[in-house]
């Protein structure tokens, strides 16, 4: 990525497999999901992240998750010490405050127009999470929201890093948040046969039959490398490059043979100044749907040739968090650097024999951390790849 280097100095996570970095990592090493079309953050309590219960009630679950993850990221990063006008926010989400919208539609039908909450609009709007983070921490730089389906938070991280690299900002908050498992959404995804009928997420497995809907958030503090070094920050990793392109093929199905994904990964490698041989790990989108997993596996095989870097998908434990998926997966890569282990692809027992990939299954795999590429591909033909490296 041309321009200034970009360091990651803070990381916060809220996920069904664990709230907080340490719990999230433990969850990634745990058993796979089973028995339901959704996986949620159990017993979620937003109170610690708000000044009052009233303030918490006026934030949709997606905003609550984002603020909780941001609090942990800032606590880890410490005092960044950047001019607020050069400290921005770019957050991704696929849908935004869908729970609030659905609840208030029900209120309208059952109780009438005058009973609809005056907080409906600020709670449901897709940019609410980024706006809330900006206001809470006084960040006056660019404040933008990516809404590109399941590629949203990968696109958000990539764009935030680019703003630092090109000198527009000195630090950024970025990542993604999602909580879209409302009754109507579940019915819609189910009726389009995207959800697993077995209630199991099995990425790249021969018996995969759809995804399990997840939720959560991961938020990062990014800053210009020299600034991070000079203030003595602990650097978790570096953003080396990224890419975004479009399949221009179908609203939900990937392009044949993963054509768009192939181009996206190659563009990201070029942006990072690397070749395929430099990549030590592939963090896959790996949703557990028949078409998408097949296309991604074909794309990885095409990009890496006879060399097969170890690949994993964490959706076997997190479910598919839509617009937050890329942020959760970037968090897993950074934690894999720290712990020197690649998490297994939970839920997968028999890799589809049509796929020529080195998928990590069963147990975590020890590794020497190196440059890693994380992929996300969304409805609408949105593709995103980001290259991260150990500090």
Q: Which residues are catalytic?
A: 150, 285, 320
Could you give phi then psi for residue 274, rounded to 5 degrees?
-120, 170
Task: Quote the CA–CA distance of 127 and 314 in Å, as a whole number.
Answer: 26
Alpha helices, DSSP H only, in the chain?
Answer: 21-28, 53-57, 61-77, 98-111, 120-124, 128-137, 152-165, 183-191, 225-230, 259-272, 290-304, 315-318, 325-339
Cα within 13 Å of Cα(49), Cβ side: 29
**The tokens of 186 are what?**
């579940």
Distances (CA, A) of 315 to 195, 202, 215, 285: 13, 8, 11, 8
Task: Quote the CA–CA distance of 370 and 318 in Å, as a whole number.
Answer: 24
Burial class (CB in 10 A: 0-12, 13-18, 19+), 22: exposed
Task: Quote the CA–CA distance of 373 and 343 in Å, as a whole number.
Answer: 15
Please calculate the CA angle 48-322-275 and round it to the nearest 5 degrees. 110
Burial state string for 178-192 with b = 16 or more CB within 10 A and e = fewer than 16: bbbbbeebeeebeee
Q: Please enumerate in sequence order all residues whose Cβ is within 8 A of that of 71, keeping only pairs 6 or more positions apart, or say none.
A: 12, 49
DSSP-derived letter for residue 47 is G
Task: Quote the CA–CA distance of 11 and 21 in Å, as a whole number.
Answer: 7
Task: Quote the CA–CA distance of 250 and 382 in Å, as a whole number.
Answer: 10
Please calculate the CA angle 213-239-305 and round it to the nearest 5 degrees. 75
**The tokens of 374 are what?**
């994380």
The DSSP secondary structure of 4-24, one letter per residue, reads: S-EEEEEEEEEETTEESHHHH
């Amino acid at each position: 990525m041309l321009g200034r280097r970009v360091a990651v100095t803070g990381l916060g996570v809220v996920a069904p497999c664990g709230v907080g970095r340490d719990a999230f990592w433990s969850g990634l090493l745990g058993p796979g999901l089973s028995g339901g079309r959704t996986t949620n953050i159990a017993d979620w309590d937003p109170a610690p992240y708000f000044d009052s219960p009233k303030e918490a009630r006026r934030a949709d679950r997606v905003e609550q998750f984002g603020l909780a993850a941001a609090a942990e990221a800032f606590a880890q990063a410490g005092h960044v010490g950047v001019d607020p006008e050069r400290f921005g926010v770019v957050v991704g989400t696929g849908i935004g405050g869908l729970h609030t919208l659905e609840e208030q539609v029900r209120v309208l039908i059952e109780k009438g127009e005058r009973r609809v909450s005056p907080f409906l609009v600020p709670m449901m709007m897709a940019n609410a999470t980024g706006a809330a983070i900006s206001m809470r921490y006084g960040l006056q730089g660019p404040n933008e929201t990516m809404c590109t389906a399941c590629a949203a938070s990968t696109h958000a991280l990539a764009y935030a890093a680019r703003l630092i690299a090109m000198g527009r900002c000195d630090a950024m908050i970025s990542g993604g948040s999602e909580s879209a498992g409302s009754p109507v959404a579940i019915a819609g995804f189910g009726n389009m046969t995207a959800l697993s009928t077995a209630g199991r997420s099995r990425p790249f497995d021969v018996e995969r039959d759809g995804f399990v809907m997840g939720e959560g958030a991961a938020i990062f503090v990014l800053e210009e490398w020299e600034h991070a070094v000079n203030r003595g920050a602990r650097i978790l990793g570096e953003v080396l490059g990224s890419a975004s392109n479009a399949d221009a093929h179908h609203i939900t199905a990937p392009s044949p043979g993963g054509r768009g994904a192939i181009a996206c990964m190659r563009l990201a490698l070029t942006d990072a100044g690397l070749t395929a041989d430099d990549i030590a790990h592939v963090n896959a989108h790996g949703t557990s749907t028949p078409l998408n997993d097949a296309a991604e596996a074909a794309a990885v095989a095409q990009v890496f040739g006879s060399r097969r870097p170890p690949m994993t998908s964490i959706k076997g434990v997190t479910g598919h968090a839509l617009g937050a998926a890329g942020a959760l997966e970037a968090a897993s890569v950074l934690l894999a650097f720290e712990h020197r282990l690649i998490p297994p692809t939970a839920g997968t027992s028999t890799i589809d024999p049509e796929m020529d990939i080195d998928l990590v299954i069963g147990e975590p795999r020890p590794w020497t951390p190196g440059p890693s590429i994380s992929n996300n591909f969304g409805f609408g033909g949105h593709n995103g790849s980001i290259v991260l490296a150990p500090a």
